[in-house]
Structure 1
């Protein structure tokens, strides 16, 4: 009976995580399938391990290996990785029995609360990260920062030059910046693609 309660709690929790939080905010259908599949698969295997002869530690080790393979098979940004491991953790909590019955649902609720707050659009919304291609091979760091701040209308916190092409006269740079307040900053944020919408992409010419 306790196991059925945990199964139900996992179904509710992963539904909230995937549909109410992730899909509502990011609209990626392919990852909905991935998160649900990971959660149910982890739930099933963790339940089998918790009632079988193999220890839960071996099961967690296997899931660690599978997670590495999964994350190396395609490019995921850090936000999608966070949702991935949240779905995995919910499955583990729902499948591993033992201990007080209230503990797994409480931990599930804690995971959902953290993701609700950490991925909220208003949290640190002025901070962005982009990969930009600039006209001109800029070798001076101060000149590069000044060019980026003028282009983005923002305060640049850090830059990392990915490619300096002296033949085609371009500079590819990853930049982390903070939008300035006021209508001008909001207008620039609207006109330019932010890292939250399209992670680390963009072009400036």
Structure 2
């Protein structure tokens, strides 16, 4: 009876994870199949091995996490939030296969996993913080000038700017930017609104960037 209850809890949890959280927020259909397959596969294997040897659960869980890490490295690159859903589906399957007479503990842990993803991946949580890889049509090897140019272009406060490539021949810069957008501030005057921008005749932008 406890096995059946845990099975139903797992089905309900993974359905809520995939169709209630992931798909409505990210709309990637191929990962729906992956999450469901991982969950049901782990549940089936862990249940069968756990019935034969109650000590196999921990080793099985570690082995499955390792195998899925290798699969991720050798397959299409996933975003970090997709990896979080991937391992959450796996964790739900392992919890659903627990050999216990009290279903409240695994059911409570399933609810905790869903609650953490609901809050952590909520669209309104830190929604103004963003990341982009930006290609600039000018070579900016000096960091302060680069940050000033990015703030003026994006109309946002730049928190991190990691240069990936500076091409002095073709006059381009590729930079990984992490920034916070400001509602109502247009890109063309975003830096000026915060720090005071002076544009010289030669096109060089000088901005007093706050630390």
Q: What is the TM-score with the length of structure 1 in the denominator? A: 0.86
1:141 match: 143
| Cα distance between partner residues in 2 of 1:180 and 1:129 | 14
Is 1:69 the counterpart of 2:39? The answer is no
1:156-196 per-position Cα deviation (integer Å, ceiling 9, x unaligned): 00110011112221111000001124x2369x9xxxxxxxx
1:53-81 per-position Cα deviation (integer Å, ceiling 9, x unaligned): 36212211320221112211220111111
Tell me if structure 1 keeps the 8 A contact 2:2–2:102. Answer: no
Structure number with bigger Rg: 2
Which consecutive aligned stretches of 4+ in structure 1 deviate over 6 angstroms post-superposition? none
Alignment of 1:1-205 (within 5 A): 1-53=1-53, 55-72=56-73, 73-98=75-100, 100-181=102-183, 183-184=184-185
Residue segments in structure 1 that go unaligned for 5+ positions in a row: 189-205
Residue segments in structure 2 that go unaligned for 5+ positions in a row: 190-211
1:128-183 per-position Cα deviation (integer Å, ceiling 9, x unaligned): 011111101111101100010011110000110011112221111000001124x2
| Cα distance between partner residues in 1 of 2:62 and 2:107 | 23
| Cα distance between partner residues in 1 of 2:62 and 2:136 | 45
CA RMSD in angstroms comes to 1.6
Tell me if structure 2 keeps the 8 A contact 1:179–1:185. Answer: no
Q: What is the TM-score with the length of structure 2 in the denominator? A: 0.84
Tell me if structure 2 keeps the 8 A contact 1:130–1:175. Answer: yes
Tell me if structure 1 keeps the 8 A contact 2:2–2:101. Answer: no
